[in-house]
Structure 1
Amino acid sequence: MYLQPPYVLLIAGLLSAIASGSAFSAVLQQSLEAWSKNRSTRVLAGLRGPKLKLPFFGVCTGVCVFLAAGVQIFGFSNRTAFSFATPMTFFIAWLVWSQLMKVLLRIERGGSRALDIDAP
């Protein structure tokens, strides 16, 4: 009934991550544009809520499914593939989220000039 190895799962995970990633990008861009117009800290504080976390969770889920399906292509079982992909996805997601929050905090404190590496 299902293809062995799970190519459909691989494609579904990739498409899910791409779709959620575009939603994540749109929410982030809209929020930063709204912040640049009025410089309100409430806008940046709102980015720490479900408005941004939901698409980020979708990206993480899609990446986890994609990684697990990729591992299954090499002949590993479903359980082994997901036990490999899940911690790796959580670790990478934690790194990306913490870095994003540091950047947003830096923007909140010093504006967009705080991110300019070449500025004195």
Structure 2
Amino acid sequence: MYSNLFAQPPYLLLLFGLLISVTCGVAFQKVLKQTVQQWYKAADEGSETNVDALSVFIPFLGICGGIFAFLAAGLEIVINSWKLSGAIALPLTIVTGRLVWSQLKVLLVKLQEGGSQALDLDNIF
């Protein structure tokens, strides 16, 4: 009965990983827009806001989890070993997620301090 669900190669896990990433990405976009709007309102009132909001970080973790599942399933299709594909996909996901999160924090701090004019895309690095 469950032979198609846990089939080899894991095409269903590949699809679920992609679906999780896209779904959490949409939630991340909406939460980020709402957080930035709250920053603009708080800037008018003069109160301090936090860049490291948990409401922004949790959807980002969901994106990273979906990417891990997608990478691990894709590598298992090629390598045919779940342990090895997971051992490759986990550090890739952690390092990439950490780099993206740190760059996003820098951009959010610039946005918070100087508004949208501070994000000059020609001189971002």
TM-score, scaled relative to structure 2:
0.85
Matches within 5 A, 1:7-18: 7-18=11-22
How many percent identity over aligned positions?
39
Q: Report the secondary structure of 1:111's partner residue.
A: helix
Q: Deviations over 1:68-89 (max 9, x none)?
A: 0000111331000110000000
Aligned to 1:108: 112
Number of positions where the alignment pairs a residue of Structure 1 with one of Structure 2 = 117
Does 2:58 correspond to 1:54?
A: yes
Deviates more, 1:110-119 or 1:66-75: 110-119
Alignment CA distance shift 1:3-1:107 (3 Å)? same
Name the Cα RMSD after superposition: 1.8
Whether the aligned pair in 2 keeps the contact of 1:10 and 1:69 (CA below 8 Å) is yes
State the shift of 1:50 in Å: 1.6
Aligned to 2:39: 35
Does 2:63 correspond to 1:22?
A: no
User: How far apart, CA to CA, are the structure 1 residues paired with 2:116 and 2:47?
Assistant: 13
User: How far apart, CA to CA, are the structure 2 residues paired with 1:52 and 1:18?
Assistant: 15
Alignment CA distance shift 1:86-1:23 (3 Å)? same
Residue ranges of structure 2 left out of the alignment (5+ in a row): none
TM-score, scaled relative to structure 1:
0.88
Aligned to 1:86: 90
Matches within 5 A, 1:68-87: 68-87=72-91
Q: Report the secondary structure of 1:3's partner residue.
A: coil
User: How far apart, CA to CA, are the structure 2 residues paired with 1:62 and 1:104?
Assistant: 24
Does 2:92 correspond to 1:65?
A: no
